Amino acid sequence: MNNLLVMPLLIPLCTAVLLIFLKERIIIQRWISAISSLLNIAVSGLILYQVKTEGIQTLYMSGWVPPYGIVFVADMLAALLVLSTAIVGSFCLFYSFRSIDKERERHYYYPLFQFLLVGVSGSFLTGDIFNLFVCFEVMLISSYALIVLGGTRLQLRESLKYILINILSSALFVAAVAYLYGVTGALNMADLSVRVAEAGQGGVLNVIAILFMIVFALKAGLFLFFWLPGSYSAPPTAITAVFGALLTKVGLYALLRTFTLIFYHDQAVTHSWLGWMAGATMVLGAIGALAYKDIPRILNYNVIISVGFIAVGLVSANKDGFDGAAFYLIHDMIAKALLFILGGMIIAAAGTNKLQEMGGLIRRHPYIGWMFFVTALAVAGIPPLSGFAGKLMIVRGGIEAGQYVLVAISLASSFIVLYSLIRIFMAAFWGEERSVQSSNGDGVQLVTDKKQRAGSFSLLLPAAGLLAIVIFVGVGAEWIYSFVQVAGDTLINPSIYIDAVLKE
């Protein structure tokens, strides 16, 4: 029992409710949300410390012992991801102070942002499958509102598709929960794991596992990512950064959790499906990243590639694979947020999002240029930076598991990630300097955010902070590995989780 576990939800939730009453007072809204996000980092760090020193932390809501009540569980993976969420959330928040326009800020931007964090942290911490659904919905409904906030033509059009896809996947989620409840009679994840193990996973439980796979793959953009590139290019940069960093990762976390804790008995069926999906995701994402010539699309397809990459760690289902998946999840949350923020800055500085219309920015914006370069290397996985250790472990896990084709695809996809990002760097920062023509139209939503303030110090600061973390995660990989390997232990040995939750 540890009441601290509910704080990563409670802090943003109370902040959001408070901010609703301060609609017109934007300055106060900023201060309160900034303070609460820093508080959130502190609390999440404390939870991580407790998990490290005292093992898995649980909280039985209202004292109802599982499987009867809802239980919050912070194992190492959840604690790490909650901390990453808090960090990414605050930096995106600091970035949005200067980049989001007044009109959006007045229309409940900050409350919605906090509600999004509530949903994401809740999804990571919950130990109950239906509560996971509710936390997903909290996250998704705030993301619906954030994606359409501002109401440009592009946003309206893309949000229709985004919402439709998510309503469908939520309906499937409830159907899957219904089937699972019908078969096992349980909703608590640890209890489910025990009952599935007793019943022996086969026949109908495999069907349910694949239904869950479809649901979470839709949310994570694993193979079923057709909705992602369009939707994520609609909202302004600060919002896209949060989406790209957090939303797909929640789907991946749910995949990791369900397929290591509940449905891990018949890997020949489920994990081979996941393997095909992961491979196809990387190939198709790579094709998309190569094909497009505008920055939002290239970055969106990079999100898709990394989703496939993390799934390889899950498919390998050995210690190295799980360690790598956990490490890479953390790296990818931070690096993708940074990548989207820098991409938004480049678009704002160049006045266009098309690669062939920009050039020579390095003279006016050297900091953005070199930061983008380092980030590109980190995302591609160049050794001293954060992407390397995770990639190395995932590849090692894949080779151990004999998934040679998947490993080959994932290594090749790293080259394509590097190529697609360096292509942005070369097109935007090298060559002739071009005059900034602000093409107004809803196609280039990102431009209108912050036409004039592209290189300002207050915008660079959050990006620099995130870059410092990316470099720290890379250089201090050994130290972070001491956390990550505990997460890997829990993933590979579900009885640790079950014992922690169901102990008397």
- Two structure tokens written together for 207: 């069907």
Q: How far is CA 401 from the centre of its chain?
A: 26
Cα–Cα distances (Å) from 261 to 212, 238, 376, in that order, read 13, 34, 34
Burial of 54 (0-12, 13-18, 19+ CB in 10 A): exposed
In degrees and rounded to multiples of 5, residue 354 shows phi and psi of: -95, 135
Are the C-beta atoms of 144 and 159 separated by less than 8 Å?
yes
**Per rule CB under 8 A, is residue 503 in the interface with other proteins?**
no
The least CB distance from residue 259 to other proteins, in Å, is 22
Q: Which is nearer to other proteins, 187 or 304 (CB)?
A: 187
Among the listed residues 159, 188, 258, 413, the single contact to other proteins using CB under 8 A = 159
Among the listed residues 182, 366, 384, 476, the single contact to other proteins using CB under 8 A = 182
Among the listed residues 168, 287, 408, 426, the single contact to other proteins using CB under 8 A = 168
Are the C-beta atoms of 452 and 359 separated by less than 8 Å?
no
Nearest Cα to 324, choosing from 340, 49, 332, 301? 332
Q: Which of residues 283-302 bind other proteins (CB under 8 A)?
A: 294
Nearest Cα to 288, choosing from 306, 275, 270? 306
Spatial separation of the C-alpha atoms in residues 414 and 380, rounded to whole Å: 5
The least CB distance from residue 156 to other proteins, in Å, is 4
The window from 150-158, 314-322, 337-345, 366-374 that contacts other proteins (CB under 8 A) reads: 150-158
Nearest Cα to 313, choosing from 245, 256, 375, 376? 256
Number of residues engaging other proteins in binding (CB under 8 A): 35
Q: Which is nearer to other proteins, 129 or 274 (CB)?
A: 129
The least CB distance from residue 392 to other proteins, in Å, is 38
The least CB distance from residue 166 to other proteins, in Å, is 8
The window from 161-169, 298-306, 339-347, 480-488 that contacts other proteins (CB under 8 A) reads: 161-169
Q: Which is nearer to other proteins, 133 or 322 (CB)?
A: 133
Spatial separation of the C-alpha atoms in residues 446 and 409, rounded to whole Å: 33
**DSSP H helices in 352-430:** 361-364, 366-380, 387-400, 404-429
Residue type for 486, please? V
Query: Cβ contacts of residue 466 below 8 Å, gap of 6+?
Result: 88, 91, 334, 337, 338, 341
Are the C-beta atoms of 297 and 428 separated by less than 8 Å?
no
The least CB distance from residue 213 to other proteins, in Å, is 18
Q: Measured on CA atoms in the order 265, 176, 169, 494, is the torsion positive or negative?
A: negative
Among the listed residues 73, 80, 118, 145, the single contact to other proteins using CB under 8 A = 145
The least CB distance from residue 183 to other proteins, in Å, is 8
**Per rule CB under 8 A, is residue 99 in the interface with other proteins?**
no
Among the listed residues 167, 291, 405, 426, the single contact to other proteins using CB under 8 A = 167
Spatial separation of the C-alpha atoms in residues 419 and 380, rounded to whole Å: 9
Among the listed residues 65, 164, 204, 412, the single contact to other proteins using CB under 8 A = 164
Q: Which of residues 386-445 bind other proteins (CB under 8 A)?
A: 443
Q: Which is nearer to other proteins, 47 or 346 (CB)?
A: 346
**Per rule CB under 8 A, is residue 144 in the interface with other proteins?**
yes
Residue type for 102, please? K
Q: Which is nearer to other proteins, 216 or 429 (CB)?
A: 216
Are the C-beta atoms of 47 and 5 separated by less than 8 Å?
yes
**Per rule CB under 8 A, is residue 61 in the interface with other proteins?**
no
Residue with tokens 């799980």: 322
Q: Which is nearer to other proteins, 57 or 188 (CB)?
A: 188
Q: Which of residues 218-247 bind other proteins (CB under 8 A)?
A: 230, 233
| Interface ranges with other proteins (CB under 8 A) | 130, 133-134, 137, 141, 144-145, 148, 151, 153-154, 156-161, 163-164, 167-168, 170-171, 174-175, 177-179, 181-182, 187, 230, 233, 294, 443
